[in-house]
Structure 1
């Protein structure tokens, strides 16, 4: 078995794919899972990759490098929506006043607010429940017909795909954070006006419990629709990947 047969599956499925966060799955576990799923992929793409076995050593080295790059691009494109959601989840935590005590994160590498971890963890669970992780494998199998093993990788096209995906991801996630941003603007304007009317009273400290309660109440009512919207947007993108 040639090593480059599973190099394309190694990066997207278990190194960069949002279905398997780095903090939850150790590197060794992800490596064995990648190898197991790669062995499942090999019979399906064997007719396409078998001719490359007889390539010259230099050509084989180029194929290996291209396979790793293609796999990394698939993983990055699949994870961009979750990176955008992490950013907006931290913005939601800041808007509702819950960003003061960062804790351990599930999907992110660094600590983040509890509200942000709750949002990303819920989105990750919905990612599995909706079987969207299978769409990553479908995109992996489809990539062998779009870009053969001995094909030419086009960096310009890849960068266009990355920028388009970033634009779609942040446009979708900013819609998720929009109610909380509006809430923060309205609350801060109201608190500022009250503080101007009564400068002798520490309005900011008095209003903080109400701001936290209002943000938590807004999250309680909006969370199902926000997660449903994110799942639909992510699923639509992965299905058309």
Structure 2
């Protein structure tokens, strides 16, 4: 290797690849499970080679022992997993919105194989998850992901201890924000479901012999899906804006 790169350069490039590889394996859009792991790691390796001339100069010297060398690699992996997990957790907002809409429209038993989770989920949750990936790629949010990767070396430079406490607190805050946003995105359908169910209950009390179930169920599905379709554009815009704010936190903007 000395004919092509020094040992210090190989070590620095390996540290860059460790962090970028961990992030690429988790971030939405580029790190989905339906993309083969070899493709994701190959992309991370190519990205690490491109960023090495910029980031390699700040890498620490080669440790004297194998234990210290493993510690440096593990530290970079943990930082990468932390950043990737935070960006991945926010995708729960769309899954939560889909679950709530499915419950409100009595479609929670309509399951579809979700390529992002490798397990069946409600059809509306799968649809919103795919919509989120499309929005990430069409609104160039993935460019902000790549910018956040580079910015992470200013926030978490080489050799810095992993902020486990801060990472846990940020994960909890991101999870709570994701669930709150999911409820907000599904609010129109929730309000409609509440109104329809209250009306059905009143009709059932006034006319006990009337089979309200056979009328209310198709009506709730039809009205719920109609409201969901009308509000879909607003759902996409609000979600992209909130995601952009989250990524801006890593960019310092």
Fold shared, TM-score > 0.5 on shorter chain:
yes
Is the CA contact 1:173–1:230 (under 8 Å) kept in the aligned structure 2?
no
Is the CA contact 1:106–1:120 (under 8 Å) kept in the aligned structure 2?
no
Distance 1:55 1:138, change over 3 A: farther
Is the CA contact 2:98–2:124 (under 8 Å) kept in the aligned structure 1?
yes
Which residue does the alignment assign to 1:215? Answer: 224
| Larger CA deviation: 152-161 vs 226-235 | 152-161
Please say which structure displays the higher CA radius of gyration: 2
Which residue does the alignment assign to 1:35? Answer: 45
Q: Deviations over 1:145-193 (max 9, x none)?
A: 2222211112111112212222332232221111121122211111122
Bigger share in helix: 1
Matched residue SS, 2:162: coil
Does structure 1 residue 171 correspond to structure 2 residue 184? no
Aligned residue among 72, 75, 78 for 1:66:
75
Please give the alpha-carbon distance, in whole angstroms, between the structure 2 residues aligned to 1:185 and 1:52.
Answer: 63
Is the CA contact 1:52–1:60 (under 8 Å) kept in the aligned structure 2?
no
Which residue does the alignment assign to 2:5? Answer: none
Aligned residue among 27, 36, 60 for 1:26:
36
Does structure 1 residue 195 correspond to structure 2 residue 178? no
How many residues get paired? 239
Aligned residue among 1, 9, 12 for 2:23:
12
Give the C-alpha shift of residue 21 in structure 1. 5.0
Give the C-alpha shift of residue 55 in structure 1. 4.7
Aligned residue among 155, 167, 170 for 2:164:
155
Structure 1: give runs of 5+ residues left out of the alignment. Answer: none
Which residue does the alignment assign to 1:230? Answer: 239
| Larger CA deviation: 71-80 vs 133-142 | 133-142
| Larger CA deviation: 63-72 vs 189-198 | 189-198
Give the C-alpha shift of residue 41 in structure 1. 2.3
Give the C-alpha shift of residue 127 in structure 1. 0.8
Is the CA contact 1:63–1:150 (under 8 Å) kept in the aligned structure 2?
yes
Is the CA contact 1:6–1:35 (under 8 Å) kept in the aligned structure 2?
yes
Matched residue SS, 2:90: helix
TM-score, normalisation: structure 1: 0.92
Give the C-alpha shift of residue 12 in structure 1. 1.3
Please give the alpha-carbon distance, in whole angstroms, between the structure 1 residues aligned to 2:192 and 2:30.
Answer: 33
Runs of 4+ in 1 over 6 A off after TM superposition: none
